[in-house]
Amino acid sequence: MKKLVMMAAVGVMTASMAMGNWVLNPGFEEHEVDETWNPSNWTIAGSGVWRNDANPNSGDWHLSIDANQDPAADQFVFNLGDFAGQEIFLSVWWAGVGGDGGNLFIGMNERDSGENFLANHESTFLFASDGVYQQYTTSFVADEDMEIVEVYFRTDEVDGRRFDIDDVSLIPEPGTMGLLAIGLMGVAALRRRLK
């Protein structure tokens, strides 16, 4: 019995690792070689986007987006076809620096295997409390042809405000893990009865 319970636990742990956070470098701790201010796995656009150590939510680093020249940052998360038609959740910790206000946008684009656009899921402009992190969460049911999710941040602020972003998480519907655990426990119980 102990062996079966252990096998079920190992199965859940393995599945958790495989189905954990899909975002690479979610806390912006890693950087490109010889480019300390450019976060690994993220593509930046415009000026005023950089890896910063001034105001992390956790760890030592975070992403900063200055409010000038339409700056943005994004990451393509690939090979998600197995989750087409399922609910997907995004969580981002963010803060505004330089006064209260808004105009940070957090969003996701669904794309097919050829990177063609399918659907957009974007926040309304987010109100920023000065320097205080808050969590933004959202979810969507993925298109049946979805293979890629593009996570992005952008701002059209022009008054010098800075937005700090940290701890980005993109995960499948949490109930999936619960169903998997129940299934593994059921298999273990059946094997015990058959012995």
pLDDT truncated to tens, each residue of the chain (195 aa)?
444 433 433 344 334 434 589 999 999 999 988 777 889 999 998 878 999 999 999 999 999 998 776 789 999 999 999 999 999 999 999 998 876 656 889 999 999 999 999 999 999 888 777 889 999 999 999 999 999 999 999 987 666 678 999 999 999 987 555 445 555 555 454 455 455
102 vs 14: CA distance, rounded Å: 40
Determine the pLDDT at residue 134.
94
Beta pairing, strands 126-128 & 148-155: unpaired
pLDDT tens profile 31-67:
988 777 889 999 998 878 999 999 999 999 999 998 7
Fold held by 22-174: Jelly Rolls (2.60.120)
Query: What is d(CA 133, CA 140) in angstroms, rounded to the nearest whole number?
Result: 23
pLDDT of amino acid 138 = 96
Question: Helix axis angle, 2-18 relative to 175-194, nearest 10°?
Answer: 160
Per-residue tokens: 5: 């319970």
The full set of domain ranges for the chain reads 22-174
Q: What is the DSSP letter of 88?
A: E
